[in-house]
């Protein structure tokens, strides 16, 4: 089935927050932000004369609690006194036109007392500025392990952050209702908006209705950070009793919002024969100025610290460090990629030291069924070897060409790298693994489907429509996926953790089953037995049949309930944070990629050439959507690995806060060849219709892009070992080859 949004996207008919028809009297707002990375507000001059000014709202105008922290209450909606990062919201300017709102913002002056900022996570750690507590996962016997190794190396990895760069910036449109508020928000987490808005206003949650049609991209950037934007719009509506729109322009979005977490890490790895015998890793996460989702991201880093490898002796330690940068947040992979990058660096390092191909060390140490991850869960249904062999088979020729090329070229070199991925599927916070749905069958047989899933381009609405209409044996035109709305699907987890279609699809099917049972009972009274729903009909074992339309209209007249609520919660998962052991994931998504690239070693220019992927998507549910997620995820990851360079100056000002200074992938950057194959595997019982989660895992294939460029560089000149920095921009290639 094709993505149901495709046509409206390419014809410009898809509606985003900024496209909504505006109600007369709508007001426009912009956010006034901190001019310093660390300081105290001395005064705000808001004595402004402007014909279009409606109001300027500060912390004092918040009727409820000025607190938006989800995991830890450490973040104000509007700064009351202390300023913790350049770009932190201080006030909301509400005006009759958007242009006037910007003009008024420029007229406000904020006096601040500056304080010393900290930007480096290790420095923050030394000063005791940490968020939550230090975490450590352990496996085996780290005391004796090192003695048993033949070779040991140590090194350091610096990993940069990444902008989400959703095409639709953060935004919300808030409306006053008779007894509360409705907000249309570009959020991955409607319930989070509802909960925090209620807290800000001092109201019960039922007074706030959140509605989401779709997002122009989220990537994690709207899991938590759409919430304050929606809350500011609602606060302005609360004060003015008028509809208020708050849609950030790109510069404000880049300035105000958090990004993927940069990490600094130390590793030590030991080999015994061809096996990785011991691994010790320390992660310093740069959380920015508030907790946001950082503790959960940190945890996922630890869960992925050994990626796809079985290592019998492991110590993985991590800490979240508070710095004066925007609060970093969820981003596709959610800390997992950073965990994987460090073990891949350690493997690259020790392989180069031993003079063997990194791919040999990777291949010799792939995890297998029954092997234990450092967090206690055992690997199951592992398909890594199959995927590896497929990729190896498909790339024999490509690798030979690389060797020939390197033998005949001096200043241009080619490189390649493999990347196996093992990504845990489930929110690591067990209680979040739940979803609800509401399925309504109307008298004419058409079906309205509501779930907690938010469509953000990933195609979740397509998948849900596909499984629901298939369930009743109907063509897709019978179903319609409604907006995600907190009055129809309640207490939703954000659309995140690659789990949206598993959780919400299963909740929708649960509702469908209830309706089917009622229809079956109704039909059995009319002499139908063992009914199947197929080709638009209900068919009895003895061949009696009734069209769907007839059935529904008869069932309605017989007063059968044609609406059902559905619910799903992932079985079997648990995690004990005291012991740091458990079974946090329903299952893992596996796969292997090989990426090749060419580096012009005179000029320092890289180009990714080929991507070969062999992916375990369980029993394929929709290969169109899966391929879209794989190709998009890899290109997004390659941008992080090779292009996207976040630069904050020594005042903490984002110097890469525009699209002229922050380079993202474009079509020319995309790999020349992209081959995706899916493994033939048995149905995955814990996935939707036997499939596997697809949203985040493929991004991590892109880590091979970084190592393929390093491999090419190493063919020109041996790089310093034990020193890995991401992104490998063209400037960095040049510096590493010649500095």
Nearer to ligand MOS, 332 or 488 (CB): 332
Tokens standing for residue 15: 């509606």
Q: Using CB under 6 A, list all residues that contact ligand LUZ.
A: 220, 223, 293, 296, 300, 330, 334, 427-429, 496-497
The residue whose Cβ lies closest to ligand MOS is 220
d(CA 81, CA 83): 7
d(CA 351, CA 348): 5
Q: How far is the CB of 254 from ligand LUZ (least distance, A)?
A: 21
Nearer to ligand MOS, 459 or 479 (CB): 459
d(CA 537, CA 328): 52
Nearer to ligand MOS, 325 or 497 (CB): 497
Task: Choose from ligand LUZ, ligand MOS, none: what does 300 bind? Cβ within 5-8 Å by kind.
Answer: ligand LUZ
Task: Choose from ligand LUZ, ligand MOS, none: what does 214 bind? Cβ within 5-8 Å by kind.
Answer: none
Strand 545-547: give its sheet, edge to edge.
532-534, 537-539, 545-547
Nearer to ligand MOS, 279 or 331 (CB): 331
Nearer to ligand LUZ, 347 or 432 (CB): 432
Q: How far is the CB of 299 from ligand LUZ (least distance, A)?
A: 7
Residue 124 contacts residue 261 (beta carbons within 8 Å): no
Q: How far is the CB of 368 from ligand LUZ (least distance, A)?
A: 25
Q: How far is the CB of 331 from ligand MOS (least distance, A)?
A: 5
Placement of tokens 């110590």 in the chain: 315
Q: How far is the CB of 582 from ligand LUZ (least distance, A)?
A: 13
The residue whose Cβ lies closest to ligand LUZ is 334
Residue 351 contacts residue 417 (beta carbons within 8 Å): no
Tokens standing for residue 569: 């919660």
Looking only at the bridges linking them, the beta strands covering 180-185 and 208-212 are: parallel
Residue 229 contacts residue 235 (beta carbons within 8 Å): no
Task: Choose from ligand MOS, ligand LUZ, none: what does 125 bind? Cβ within 5-8 Å by kind.
Answer: none
Task: Choose from ligand MOS, ligand LUZ, none: what does 427 bind? Cβ within 5-8 Å by kind.
Answer: ligand LUZ
581 forms beta bridges with 576
Task: Choose from ligand LUZ, ligand MOS, none: what does 296 bind? Cβ within 5-8 Å by kind.
Answer: ligand LUZ
Q: Using CB under 6 A, list all residues that contact ligand MOS.
A: 188, 220, 223, 330-332, 334, 496-497, 696
**696 an active-site residue?**
yes
Nearer to ligand MOS, 162 or 450 (CB): 162
Q: How far is the CB of 712 from ligand LUZ (least distance, A)?
A: 32
d(CA 336, CA 300): 5
Nearer to ligand MOS, 46 or 428 (CB): 428
Nearer to ligand LUZ, 243 or 584 (CB): 584
Nearer to ligand MOS, 491 or 661 (CB): 491
Q: How far is the CB of 285 from ligand LUZ (least distance, A)?
A: 15
Q: How far is the CB of 170 from ligand LUZ (least distance, A)?
A: 17
Q: Closest Cα partner for 102 from 113, 111, 93?
A: 93
Residue 36 contacts residue 114 (beta carbons within 8 Å): yes
Task: Choose from ligand LUZ, ligand MOS, none: what does 331 bind? Cβ within 5-8 Å by kind.
Answer: ligand MOS
d(CA 362, CA 349): 12
Nearer to ligand LUZ, 238 or 332 (CB): 332
DSSP SS3 for 480: strand
Give the active site residue among 103, 696, 731, 736. 696
Task: Choose from ligand MOS, ligand LUZ, none: what does 157 bind? Cβ within 5-8 Å by kind.
Answer: none
Q: How far is the CB of 264 from ligand LUZ (least distance, A)?
A: 21
Q: Closest Cα partner for 572 from 560, 588, 585?
A: 585
Placement of tokens 């008028």 in the chain: 242
Q: Closest Cα partner for 678 from 663, 695, 696, 692?
A: 692
Task: Choose from ligand LUZ, ligand MOS, none: what does 310 bind? Cβ within 5-8 Å by kind.
Answer: none
112 forms beta bridges with 41
Classify the C-alpha dihedral 646-647-653-658 as positive or negative.
Answer: negative
Residue 500 contacts residue 453 (beta carbons within 8 Å): yes
Q: Closest Cα partner for 237 from 168, 169, 185?
A: 185
Phi, psi dihedrals of residue 93, rounded to the nearest 5°: -95, 125
Tokens standing for residue 493: 């987890």
DSSP SS3 for 528: coil
d(CA 280, CA 76): 37
In the DSSP assignment, the letter for residue 366 is B
Q: How far is the CB of 250 from ligand LUZ (least distance, A)?
A: 24
d(CA 135, CA 428): 14
Neighbours of 223 (CB within 10 A): 27
d(CA 711, CA 704): 10
Report DSSP letters for 21-55, one per residue: PPPTT-EEEEEEE-SSSSEEEEEEE-----TTEEE
Nearer to ligand MOS, 34 or 629 (CB): 629
Whole-angstrom CA distances from 193 to 184, 327, 403, 425 are: 10, 17, 54, 24
Task: Choose from ligand MOS, ligand LUZ, none: what does 285 bind? Cβ within 5-8 Å by kind.
Answer: none
Q: How far is the CB of 332 from ligand MOS (least distance, A)?
A: 5
Alpha carbon 546 to chain centroid distance? 45
DSSP SS3 for 730: helix
Task: Choose from ligand MOS, ligand LUZ, none: what does 428 bind? Cβ within 5-8 Å by kind.
Answer: ligand LUZ
Task: Choose from ligand LUZ, ligand MOS, none: what does 188 bind? Cβ within 5-8 Å by kind.
Answer: ligand MOS
Instruction: Enumerate the H helices of 322-459 as residue ranges.
Output: 336-354, 358-364, 384-394, 396-408
Residues forming the active site: 696
């Amino acid at each position: 089935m094709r993505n149901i949004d495709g046509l409206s996207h390419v014809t410009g008919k898809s509606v985003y927050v900024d496209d909504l028809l505006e109600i007369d009297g709508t007001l426009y707002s912009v956010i006034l932000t901190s001019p310093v990375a660390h300081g105290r507000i001395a005064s705000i001059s808001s004595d402004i004369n402007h014909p279009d000014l409606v109001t300027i709202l500060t912390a004092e105008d918040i009727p409820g609690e000025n607190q938006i922290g989800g995991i830890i209450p450490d973040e104000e909606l509007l700064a009351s006194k202390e300023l913790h990062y350049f770009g932190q919201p201080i006030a909301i300017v509400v005006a009759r036109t958007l242009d006037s709102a910007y003009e008024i913002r420029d007229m406000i002056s904020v006096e601040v007392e500056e304080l010393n900022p900290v930007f480096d996570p290790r420095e923050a750690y030394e000063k005791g500025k940490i968020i939550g507590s230090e975490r450590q996962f352990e496996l085996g016997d780290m005391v004796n392990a090192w003695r048993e190794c033949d070779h040991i190396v140590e090194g350091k990895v610096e990993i940069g952050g990444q902008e989400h760069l959703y095409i639709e910036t953060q935004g919300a449109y808030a409306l006053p209702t008779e007894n509360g508020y409705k907000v249309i928000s570009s959020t991955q987490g409607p319930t989070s908006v509802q909960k925090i808005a209620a807290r800000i206003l001092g109201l019960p949650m039922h007074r706030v209705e959140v509605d989401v049609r779709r997002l122009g991209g989220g990537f994690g950037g709207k899991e938590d950070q759409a919430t304050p934007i929606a809350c500011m719009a609602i606060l302005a509506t609360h004060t003015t009793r008028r509809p208020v729109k708050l849609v950030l322009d790109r510069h404000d979005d880049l300035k105000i919002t958090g990004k993927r977490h940069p990490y600094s890490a130390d590793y030590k790895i030991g080999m015994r024969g061809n096996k990785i015998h011991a691994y010790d890793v320390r992660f310093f996460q740069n959380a920015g100025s508030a907790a946001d989702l950082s503790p959960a991201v940190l945890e996922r880093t630890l869960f992925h610290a050994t990626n796809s490898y079985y290592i019998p002796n492991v110590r993985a330690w991590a800490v979240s460090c508070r710095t004066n940068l925007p609060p970093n947040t969820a981003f596709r992979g959610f800390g997992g990629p950073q965990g994987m990058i460090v073990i891949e660096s350690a493997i690259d390092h020790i392989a180069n030291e031993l003079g063997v191909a990194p791919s040999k060390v990777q291949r010799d140490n792939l995890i297998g069924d029954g092997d234990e991850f450092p967090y206690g869960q055992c690997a199951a249904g592992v398909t890594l070897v199959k995927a590896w062999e497929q990729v190896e088979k498909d790339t024999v020729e490509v690798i030979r060409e690389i060797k020939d090329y390197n033998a005949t070229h001096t200043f241009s070199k080619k490189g390649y790298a493999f990347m196996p991925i093992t990504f845990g599927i489930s929110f690591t916070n067990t209680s979040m693994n739940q979803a609800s749905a509401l399925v309504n069958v109307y008298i004419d047989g058409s079906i309205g489907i509501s779930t907690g899933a938010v469509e953000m381009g990933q195609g979740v609405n397509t998948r849900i429509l596909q499984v629901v209409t298939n369930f009743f044996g109907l063509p897709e035109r019978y179903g319609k996926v409604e907006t995600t709305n907190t009055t129809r699907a309640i207490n939703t987890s954000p659309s995140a953790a690659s789990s949206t279609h598993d959780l919400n699809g299963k909740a929708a099917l649960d509702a469908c089953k209830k309706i089917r049972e009622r229809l079956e009972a109704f039909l059995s009274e009319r002499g139908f037995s063992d009914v199947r729903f197929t080709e638009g009909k209900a068919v009895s074992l003895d061949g009696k049949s009734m069209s769907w339309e007839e059935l529904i209209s008869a069932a309605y007249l017989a007063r059968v309930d044609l609406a059902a609520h559905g619910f799903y919660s992932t079985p079997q998962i648990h995690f004990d944070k005291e012991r740091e052991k458990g079974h946090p994931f329903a299952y893992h998504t596996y796969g292997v990629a090989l990426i090749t690239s060419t580096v012009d070693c005179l000029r320092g220019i890289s180009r990714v050439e080929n991507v070969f992927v062999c992916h375990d998507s369980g029993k394929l549910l929709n290969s169109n959507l899966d391929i879209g997620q794989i190709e998009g995820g890899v290109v997004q990851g390659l941008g992080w690995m090779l292009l996207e360079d976040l630069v904050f100056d020594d005042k903490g000002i984002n110097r890469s806060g525009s699209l002229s200074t922050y380079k993202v992938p474009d079509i020319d950057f995309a790999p020349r060849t992209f081959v995706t194959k899916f493994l033939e595997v048995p149905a995955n019982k814990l996935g939707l219709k036997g499939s596997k989660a697809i949203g985040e895992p493929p991004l991590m294939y892109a880590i091979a892009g970084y190592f393929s460029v390093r491999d090419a560089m190493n063919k020109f000149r041996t790089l310093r070992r034990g020193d890995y920095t991401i992104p490998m921009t063209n400037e960095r290639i040049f510096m590493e080859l010649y500095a």
